[in-house]
Structure 1
Amino acid sequence: MTVRTNAKRRNGARWGAAIWVVGVLAALAVLPPAASSRLPERLATHWGSSSSPDGSMPLWAAALFPALLWAALVTPLLFAGRRGGAPARAWVDAVLLSGGVFLAGVQASIVRANLDRADWRDAGSVGAGVTITAVAAVAAGLLGWLAGRRGVHSAPESPVAAGLVMEIPAGERFVWLSRTANPWLHLTAALTGLVAAAGVLAAACGLIGLQWTLIAPFAIASVLVLFCSSVQARVTDSGLEVAFGPLGWPRRRWSAGEIDSARMEVRTAAQVGGWGYRLSGLGTTVMLRAGECLVIHPRKGAEFAVSVDDAERGAALLNTLSSNESGRK
C-alpha cells in the first residue's frame, strides 16, 4: 500500500486550537466585568439541592477562577497532544471543545442568574442553563473527536512512480492519499466563529437580545469557510474520493470507470478565481495553495482539480485503474 500525506496538514488545526483556547479564556474572564453594572458585589456561584444559591465569590474571583481552571485544563492537554501522536490528538480535540463549551456555558448561566439582583442570595436558578450547556458540551466533544480522527494516517512512503501510469504487481493493491489544509482559511473560520459565539454568549448572559442578524451571517460564514479550508484526496480501487473539512464531509466520488484520464497540473489562485471551491473556465478547482494539483477529466462533465501534494503519483494510479476498468469492459 502506498500512502502520501501532507506534512503540513496540522498547521491550520493548530491555529484553530490556539484561537479557541484564547477565545474561551477571554470569554471566561471578560463576561462578569462586562456586566458589572448590573451585577451585585458578590456573585452567586454555587447552588444547593433546593436550587437556591448557597455560595458566592467577589466579582473579580468569579472572573479569575474559571479562567485559571481553563488554563489548568489546557496546559497538560496541549502537552499530551504534542507528545501522544495522532490518536491522542483526537481525544485532546474532544476535551478542548467540550471543556471550553461547558465552562463558557456555565459562566454565562452564572452571570445571567445574578443579573439585576441586589444581593447574590436572590440569584435565580442555573439548572436549565447548565443542562443545555452539558448537552452542547457532549455534542462538541463528539465533533472534536471525529475531526481529530480524520488526521490519523500513518504509513511508510514508497518511491515515487515515474510516468503517467503506475505498474501494479498482480495480487497487490495500491492506495494513494494526500491531505492539504490552508491555515489562513482556518484562521478566518475561527475568527468568524468566535464573533458568532460571542453573540450567543452575550445573549445567554442576558446582556443583549438574541441578535440573529449578527450571529447568523458570522456562523454561516465560519461553517462554509471551515468546509473549504482543508481537503483530502484518496485513490483506491474504487476510484477517487475527495473529502472536505475536518470531518471529511461533504464528499465527492468518481469511480475508476467514470474517469477518462488524470494528470498533474500546476495552478494558481489567480487562474481559478481565488481560494476555496472555485468554478471557472478550467472547471472546478479546490484551491487551498498554489502549485501542483491533481486534475481529472471525467467521461462526463467538466474537469475537476484539487490542490494536493504528490499529485503526479495520484494521477498515475488513477490512469492505471481507469485503464484496467476499461479493459474489463
Structure 2
Amino acid sequence: MTDRAGHRKAAVWGAGGWVVGVLGVLVALPLAARDRLPDRLATHWDASGGPDSSMPFWAATFVPALIWVAMAAAVVLVQWRARKSAGGAAPGWVGATLGFGGATLLGAQASIVRANLDHTDWREAGSVTVWVVVTLAAAVAVGAAALWAGHRARVTVPPVAGPTMEIPEGQRFVWLSRTSNPWLHVTAAVTGVVAVGASAASVGGLTGAEAVLLAGPLALATVVVLCCASVQARVSEKGLDVTFGPLGWPARRWAAEDIASARVETRTAAQVGGWGYRLNGLGTTVMLRGGECLVIRTVKGKDFAVSVDDAERGAALLNSLIGQRSRG
C-alpha cells in the first residue's frame, strides 16, 4: 500500500468514525433522558430567550439524526464526484463541513435536552442562549482544525528525480514522506466519540461531575493517540523536520549541522517495544509500521528513527547535504 493510499484509508476511517459517533450520540442523548423529559420538547427560542416552538419527543430525537445522515451523504456524494473529476483530489472543505456540522448538531441536541430536562411542559423550558454561543464557538474550532488538517494532507512534494543523489551547489530540494497507522486512528476515534458523548451528557444535564472526570482523560488520550497515529518526514536544505498528527504538531527538527549521518534500517514493533513514539536501547523510534526506517545519528551520538516510505532516498539526500556542509 502506498503512503498516499494509507493516508486516504486513515482519513476515511476517521471520517466514518466521526459520522457514526455523532449519529449515535444524537439519538442516545434524548433517549437516555426520556423519563425526565416532557412529551413535547421546546426546540426553538425567541429573541428574549423564551421557548416559542416545540416538537414531539420522537421528532426531537430523530430529526437531528436524519439531518446529520443527509449532510454526511451529501458530503460523501460531493467528495466522490470531486475525486472522480479531479483525479482523486478531495475538496478541502469536506472535513470542515463534517466537523462543523457534527459539532453544531451535538451542541444543539445537548442544549435542547438540558433546557427541557425535568419540566412537565415545553413552555417551561429554560434558556439556551449561553449554550448556543458555546456550541458555535466549539463548532468553528472543530471545523477550522479539520480544514487545517485536510489542507496539510493535500500538500505533496514530489521526490527528487534521477538515479543519483548528486546535488549541485545552490540547488534547492525537498523530500517528503508520510506514514499513518489506521488502527491508531480507529483507537483515537473511539476514545474521542466516548469523550464527546460524556461531554454531551454532562451539558444535557444527564450526568454530574463524573462525566467530566471521564471526558477529560479520554479527550487527552484521543489527542495523544492521534498525534502518534501519523508522521511526516521532510528533508530540505535546512535539515530534517519530523511532524506528528494531522495538524503537524508537535514537531522535531534537526539542522544539517546537527546530523552526523543518515542510514536505513529495518525495524519492527517488537524490536522497539510497540507502536507509536518509543524510547529504548536503539534510541528514539517513531514506529507506525514495520519495515524500513530513516535513521539519523546526531553529532551528540543519539539515534532517531522514523518509519516512512522511501527512507533510502531521504537518507541519501541528508548524507549529500551533510557532505556539502562539511566541505563548505
- The question of a shared fold, defined as TM-score above 0.5 by the shorter chain, is answered with yes
Residues 143 and 183 of structure 1: CA distance in aligned 2, closer, same or farther (over 3 Å) = same
Contact 1:42 1:120 in 2 (8 A): yes
User: Counterparts of 1:123-202 in structure 2 under 5 Å?
Assistant: 123-156=125-158, 159=161, 161=163, 166-202=165-201
AA partner of residue 12 (structure 1):
A
Q: Could you say which residue in structure 1 is the equivalent of 2:300? A: 300
- Whichever residue aligns with residue 74 of structure 1, its letter is A
Give the aligned partner of residue 117 of structure 1.
Answer: 119
Distance of 1:299 and 1:129 partners within structure 2: 54
Number of aligned pairs? 322
Residues 41 and 116 of structure 2 are in contact (CA less than 8 Å); yes or no, is this contact kept in structure 1? yes
**Structure 1, residues 266-303: CA drift from partner, whole Å, max 9, x if none?**
10000000000000100000000000100001111410
Q: Structure 1: how far apart are the matches of 2:91 and 2:181?
A: 19
One-letter identity of the residue aligned with 1:325: R
**Cα contact 1:11–1:181 (8 A) shared by 2:** no
- Partners in 2 of 1:305 and 1:67 — Cα distance? 45
User: Which residue pairs with 2:254 in the alignment?
Assistant: 254
C-alpha deviation, 1:161, in angstroms? 4.1
Tell me what 1:218 maps to: 218
Deviation at 1:195, TM superposition (A): 1.2
Could you tell me how far apart the structure 2 residues matched to 1:185 and 1:5 are? 16
1:10 match: secondary structure? helix
**TM (normalized to structure 2)?**
0.94
Alpha-carbon distance, 1:9 to partner: 1.6
Q: What SS is found at the alignment partner of 2:252? A: strand
Gaps of 5+ in 1: none
Tell whether the 8 Å contact from 1:90 to 1:144 is kept in structure 2 after alignment.
no
Per the TM alignment, residue 172 of structure 1 is displaced from its structure 2 partner at its CA by 2.9
The answer as to 2:133 corresponding to 1:105 is no
Distance 1:219 1:241 in 2: 27
CA distance in 1, matches of 2:162, 2:32: 58
Contact 1:5/1:177 (8 A) holds in 2? no
Shift of 1:221: 1.0
Q: What's the TM-score once normalised by structure 1's chain length?
A: 0.93
2:18 aligned residue: 20
Q: Is this contact kept in 2: 1:244–1:250, CA < 8 A? A: yes
Tell me the equivalent position of 1:286: 286
Distance 2:4 2:171 in 1: 24
Deviates more, 1:269-278 or 1:84-93: 84-93
For residues 30-82 of structure 1, what are the alpha-carbon distances to aligned partners after superposition, in whole Å with 9 as ceiling and x for unaligned? 21111110000111111122322111111111111111111111112123334
| 1:304–1:170 CA distance, 2 compared to 1 (3 A) | same
Q: Does 1:66 align with 2:102?
A: no
SS at structure 1 position matched to 2:118: coil
Work out whether residues 239 and 253 of structure 2, in 8 Å CA contact, stay in contact via their aligned partners in 1: yes
Q: Return closer, same or farther for 1:25/1:143 CA change in 2, 3 Å cut-off.
A: same
Whether the 8 Å CA contact 2:160–2:175 is kept in 1: the answer is no
Partner amino acid, structure 1, of 2:246: P
State percent identity of aligned pairs.
58
Secondary structure of 1:8's aligned partner: helix
1:268 corresponds in structure 2 to: 268
Give the letter for the 1:48 counterpart.
D
The aligned residue for residue 206 of structure 1 is 205
- Contact 1:5 1:153 (C-alpha < 8 Å) held by counterparts: no
Root-mean-square deviation over aligned CA pairs? 1.7
- Cα displacement (A) at 1:154: 3.8
Q: Secondary structure at the match of 1:284?
A: strand
